[in-house]
């Protein structure tokens, strides 16, 4: 079978965009309908997805409104109210595109469209000069923090020659990025083989807003109210309700009631919800432990 020429492919695309059926395109091109169908399906599979702008992003019309507002000398808040956006959004948009004096809607739109492309080329991967400088300093046992600080001083007027230490770390440890040679990681002073980004703190699985025991109120010292007792947390088995009780308070209640009359072999049964069990049908068993005739402990 003779392959489709570039001219034939272009003509098939043109006819398909006009909405002609496959049989009509095949008749005009002098090709079997199956050839036309295969080419159209293959073209659709390989076509790049159409980029769509998120509703959260500024559009060209909004940028033109910002440009007109700046030309009229209006404040950021007034401009933001006119386009229905947050003042901080307008402020960032103006600041990243030349400021009030040099802001242009078309240039800002083009820049936003280019910056929104994904995936982005990493800074070290796209700048061989900067990458060579970073690799040289790593070979001299410099830390990423030292390299980042030195670049800011040495190239203060060249932003393209500045890079953060986090970018250097990611380039070393994330194998998929591969901007820096993997063997350079051995020059790091810590000798680590992996690293977590330090930009934000990990809070998952941690208690927030806890109160230390040293800050407890004074009324908790006398333990007169349930909830201020210090004891064990006891949990019932499967199919039973959960029970909260305080072994220390149960023992104290026995001592207060039977002080001087507690002997080896005694067994105390309690079902008072304020000192032991939670329900009237629950029983809390406590036995004293004596050593050489003296009460030293309890078991339950």
Q: Can you tell me the distance from the alpha carbon of 232 to that of 230, in angstroms, rounded to the nearest whole number?
A: 7
Structure tokens at 255: 């001592």
Strand order in the sheet with 268-270: 268-270, 284-291, 294-299
In a domain, 91, yes or no: yes
Detail the DSSP E strand segments found in 131-283: 268-270
Task: Calculate mean pLDDT across residues 156-177.
Answer: 78
Provide the pLDDT for residue 280. 53
Total structural domains within the chain: 4
pTM: 0.39
Tell me how far the alpha carbon of residue 202 is from its chain's centroid. Answer: 9
pLDDT of residue 46: 57
Calpha distance 66→93 (Å, rounded): 9
Look up residue 70 and give its two tokens. 């700046």
Domain holding 176, by residue range, is 125-187
Instruction: Establish if 173 belongs to a structural domain.
Output: yes
User: What is the pLDDT confidence band of residue 88, given thresholds at 50, 70 and 90?
Assistant: very high
Look at residues 159, 189, 166 and name the one whose alpha carbon lies nearest to residue 151.
Answer: 159
- pLDDT of amino acid 94: 95
**Same domain for 99 and 38:** no
pLDDT-based confidence at residue 150 (cuts at 50, 70, 90): very high
Boundary of a domain, candidates 115, 140, 155: 115
Name the one residue in this structure whose structure tokens are 């496959």.
Answer: 22
The reported pLDDT for the residue numbered 241 is 45
On average, the pLDDT of the chain sits at 78
Cβ–Cβ < 8 Å for 278, 246: no
| Angle, CA 282 vertex, CA 278 and CA 285 arms, to 5° | 105
105 pLDDT band, cuts 50/70/90, is very high
> How confident is the model at residue 219, as a pLDDT?
73
200 domain-assigned? no
Q: pLDDT band at residue 198, thresholds of 50, 70 and 90? A: low
Domain boundary among 115, 138, 159: 115
- Which pLDDT score is estimated for 275? 64
Are 195 and 165 spatial neighbours (Cβ–Cβ below 8 Å)?
A: no
Per residue in 210-251, pLDDT tens? 777 777 777 776 666 655 655 434 444 454 444 445 566 777
Tell me how far apart the alpha carbons of residues 285 and 265 are, in angstroms, rounded to a whole number. 13
Tell whether 23 is covered by a domain.
Answer: yes
Which position has the higher pLDDT, 97 or 239? 97
Query: Is 141 part of any domain?
Result: yes
pLDDT on residue 99: 92
Could you report the per-residue pLDDT of 38-49, keeping only the tens digit for each?
Answer: 888 887 765 556
């Amino acid at each position: 079978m003779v392959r489709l020429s570039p001219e034939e492919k272009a003509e098939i695309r043109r006819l398909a965009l006009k909405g002609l059926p496959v049989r009509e395109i095949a008749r005009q091109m002098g090709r079997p309908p199956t050839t036309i169908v295969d080419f159209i399906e293959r073209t659709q599979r390989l076509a790049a997805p159409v980029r769509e702008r998120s509703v959260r992003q500024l559009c060209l019309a909004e940028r033109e409104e910002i440009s007109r507002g700046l030309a009229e000398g209006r404040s950021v808040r007034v401009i933001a109210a006119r386009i229905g956006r947050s003042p901080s959004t307008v402020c960032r948009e103006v600041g990243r595109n030349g400021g009030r004096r040099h802001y242009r809607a078309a240039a800002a739109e083009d820049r936003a469209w280019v910056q929104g492309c994904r995936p982005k080329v990493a800074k070290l991967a796209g700048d061989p000069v900067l990458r060579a400088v970073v690799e040289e300093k790593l070979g001299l046992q410099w830390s990423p923090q030292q390299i980042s600080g030195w670049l800011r001083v040495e190239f203060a007027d060249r932003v393209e020659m500045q890079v953060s230490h986090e970018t250097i770390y990611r380039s070393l440890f994330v194998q998929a990025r591969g901007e820096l040679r993997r063997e350079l990681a051995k020059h790091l002073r810590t000798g680590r083989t992996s690293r977590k980004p330090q930009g934000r703190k990990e809070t998952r699985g941690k208690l927030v807003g806890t109160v230390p025991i040293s800050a407890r109120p004074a009324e908790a010292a006398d333990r007169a109210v349930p909830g201020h007792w210090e004891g064990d947390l006891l949990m019932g088995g499967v199919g039973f309700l959960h029970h909260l009780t305080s072994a220390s308070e149960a023992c104290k209640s026995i001592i207060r009631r039977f002080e001087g009359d507690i002997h080896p072999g005694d067994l105390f049964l309690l079902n008072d919800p304020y000192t032991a069990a939670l329900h009237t049908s629950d029983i809390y068993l406590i036995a004293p432990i004596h050593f050489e005739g003296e009460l030293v402990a309890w078991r339950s």
